């Protein structure tokens, strides 16, 4: 079965993550800055009774937050805009060389450019251990 991806933009880049990890899309207006936060942390977002950390490893200035869920936790990912939800292509290229922590798990080549597939497990590791 072909996985479904949620595609989104951050600044000039286009990215995707598997849709099964996305719990919700929220406005970034409710993100509260966290004093003394690491550079890749945008702040905190209330989700029910919890305060979730919102990561911004792809850049700041986003208008939306993807609530991303893994086996162990839920956290936010700051994005500019969600562009589509669609099936992954049959072929996804390998991760690019030169990364510090393998945040990009693969590359999708399209007629209109490249889409970088973000590794949700690496995002979770960044949350735990920093960039």
Q: Read off the CATH number of the domain in which 85 is found.
A: 2.40.50.180
Could you tell me how many helices (H) and strands (E) the chain has, helices first? 1, 10
Angle at the Cα of 95 (from 40 to 73), degrees rounded to 5?
45
pTM: 0.92
Domain that holds residue 51: 4-129
Model confidence pLDDT, tens digit, residues 1-27: 678 999 999 988 999 999 999 999 999
Q: How far is CA 2 from the centre of its chain?
A: 20
Model confidence pLDDT, tens digit, residues 101-114: 889 999 999 988 99
Query: Rounded to whole angstroms, how far apart are CA atoms 95 and 74?
Result: 24
Q: How far is CA 44 from the centre of its chain?
A: 15
Query: Rounded to whole angstroms, how far apart are CA atoms 23 and 104?
Result: 21
Per the structure, the count of domains in the chain is 1
In this structure, the chain runs to a length of 131
Q: Looking at the DSSP assignment, which residues form a beta bridge with residue 109?
A: 114
């Amino acid at each position: 079965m072909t996985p479904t991806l949620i595609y989104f933009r951050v600044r000039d880049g286009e990215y995707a993550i598997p849709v099964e990890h996305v719990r919700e899309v929220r406005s970034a207006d409710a993100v509260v800055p966290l004093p003394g936060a690491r550079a890749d942390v945008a702040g905190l977002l209330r989700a029910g009774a919890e305060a979730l950390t919102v990561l911004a490893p792809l850049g700041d200035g986003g208008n939306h937050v993807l609530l991303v869920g893994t086996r162990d936790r839920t956290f936010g990912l700051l994005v500019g805009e969600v562009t589509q939800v669609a099936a992954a292509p049959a072929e996804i290229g390998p991760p690019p060389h030169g990364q510090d922590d393998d945040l990009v798990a693969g590359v999708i080549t399209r007629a209109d450019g490249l889409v970088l597939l973000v590794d949700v497990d690496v995002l979770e590791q960044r949350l735990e251990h920093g960039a």
